[in-house]
Amino acid sequence: MSIQTKTTGANIGTTATALIAALAGNVHGLAIALVHFLFNICGMLVWFIHPKMRKAPIYLCKSLAAGVAKHKILAPIYIAVVFFLSPLACRYVTTMVCLKNVGLAQCENLRRIYGKRAMKI
């Protein structure tokens, strides 16, 4: 059995466990757990079903590892881009889209409403 098979099984297994645990909570927790489960199932269908697609993540990992082995500076750059710059860029874009579409006052109302909802989960 390959590591990709084990990783996919573990990923689906943990989301299924979270889904079962969410059954005891409120409806918002259950919705989030269900979305997480379906997201992982779709990811498995995209990356695991076709043999050529199975090779893509392995190739990308090997390429990144080879690049980091040659140039050590790529590791912190990768971490900064993936875990800091990309989320900040997404936050910026969604804020700008909200401001453009509904205006500042409505964006603040949405942030207040969804902020409170997120606190309840």
pLDDT in tens, 25-67: 888 888 888 888 888 888 888 888 888 888 888 899 999 999 9
Average pLDDT, the chain: 82
**Mean pLDDT value of segment 91-107:** 76
Q: What pLDDT score does 114 carry? A: 66
Rounded to whole angstroms, the Cα distance separating 39 from 101 reads: 28
Q: Where are the domains of the chain?
A: 1-70, 72-121
* Whether the model pTM is above 0.75: no
